[in-house]
Amino acid sequence: MLVAALVGTVAWTVLLRRLGYRVGTSTVVRCRRDHLFTTVWIPGASFKSIRLGFWRVQRCPVGRHWSLVAPVREAALSAEERAEAAGHRDVRIP
């Protein structure tokens, strides 16, 4: 059972990376109010959010509200949007 969960998590991580999402310690995410920020996004682990499949409910440091967030493909972002996201970091706890 534990091995199956580990294999599933690794497969999910590989799939996300192949689709262009940079999951890990500095992942750009977007909240429902269109704010961009970086957060720790480790598939299968979360201490500061509630996981809902591809999305998570967590605090947005830009608007200071709780929201549904999702990773963003960095290739789809402009240089200004990447800079905006880098300027707003969530707390570093995974």
The pTM score is 0.82
Helix (H, G, I), strand (E, B) or coil at 19: coil
Show me where the domains of the chain are located: 2-87
Calculate the alpha carbon distances from 11 to 44, 56, 59, 68, 75 in Å. 11, 19, 27, 23, 22
The per-residue pLDDT of the chain, averaged, comes to 88
Tokens of 59: 């605090």
Spatial distance between the Cα atoms of 87 and 91, rounded to a whole number of angstroms: 13
**What single letter denotes the amino acid at residue 86?**
A
Give 28-74 pLDDT, tens digit per residue: 999 999 999 999 988 877 888 888 888 999 999 999 999 999 999 98
- For residue 94, the model assigns a pLDDT of 54
The percent of residues in the chain predicted with pLDDT above 90, rounded, is 49
Greater confidence, 60 or 6? 60
| Token representation of residue 3 | 């091995």
